[in-house]
Chain A
Amino acid sequence: DTGVSQDPRHKITKRGQNVTFRCDPISEHNRLYWYRQTLGQGPEFLTYFQNEAQLEKSRLLSDRFSAERPKGSFSTLEIQRTEQGDSAMYLCASSLVDFGDRANTEAFFGQGTRLTVV
Chain B
Amino acid sequence: KQEVTQIPAALSVPEGENLVLNCSFTDSAIYNLQWFRQDPGKGLTSLLLIQSSQREQTSGRLNASLDKSSGRSTLYIAASQPGDSATYLCAVRQFRGGSEKLVFGKGTKLTVNP
Write the residues of chain A forming the contact surface with B, with a CB cutoff of 8 angstroms.
Answer: 4, 6, 33, 35, 40-45, 48, 56, 89, 91, 93, 97, 102-112, 114
Report Cα–Cα, A114/B34, bound state, in Å.
23
Query: Knowing that A41-B106, A45-B102, A102-B100 are A-B contacts, what are 19 other residue pairs whose CB atoms are under 8 Å apart, sorted by A's residue number?
Result: A33-B101, A33-B102, A42-B91, A42-B106, A43-B89, A56-B101, A89-B41, A91-B43, A91-B44, A93-B44, A93-B102, A102-B93, A103-B31, A104-B32, A105-B32, A106-B34, A107-B46, A109-B43, A109-B44
Closest B residue, CB atoms, query A31: B100
Min CB–CB distance A88 → chain B (angstroms): 12
For residue B49, which residues in chain A have a CB less than 8 angstroms away from its CB? 104, 106
B51 at interface, CB cutoff 8 A: yes
For residue B95, which residues in chain A have a CB less than 8 angstroms away from its CB? 102
Closest A residue, CB atoms, query B52: A103
Report Cα–Cα, A93/B31, bound state, in Å.
17
Min CB–CB distance A92 → chain B (angstroms): 9
Closest B residue, CB atoms, query A114: B41
Q: Name B4-41 residues within 8 Å CB distance of A.
A: 4, 6, 31-32, 34, 36, 41
For residue B91, which residues in chain A have a CB less than 8 angstroms away from its CB? 42-43, 107
Task: Out of B31, B41, B105, name the residue touching A105 (CB < 8 Å).
Answer: B31
For residue B89, which residues in chain A have a CB less than 8 angstroms away from its CB? 42-43
**Can you list 21 residue pairs at the A/B interface with Cβ under 8 Å?**
A35-B102, A35-B104, A40-B106, A42-B91, A43-B44, A43-B89, A97-B100, A102-B31, A102-B93, A102-B100, A103-B32, A103-B53, A104-B49, A105-B31, A105-B32, A106-B46, A107-B34, A109-B36, A109-B43, A109-B44, A111-B42
For residue B44, which residues in chain A have a CB less than 8 angstroms away from its CB? 43, 91, 93, 109
Q: Please determine whether A112 and B106 come into contact, CB atoms closer than 8 angstroms.
A: no
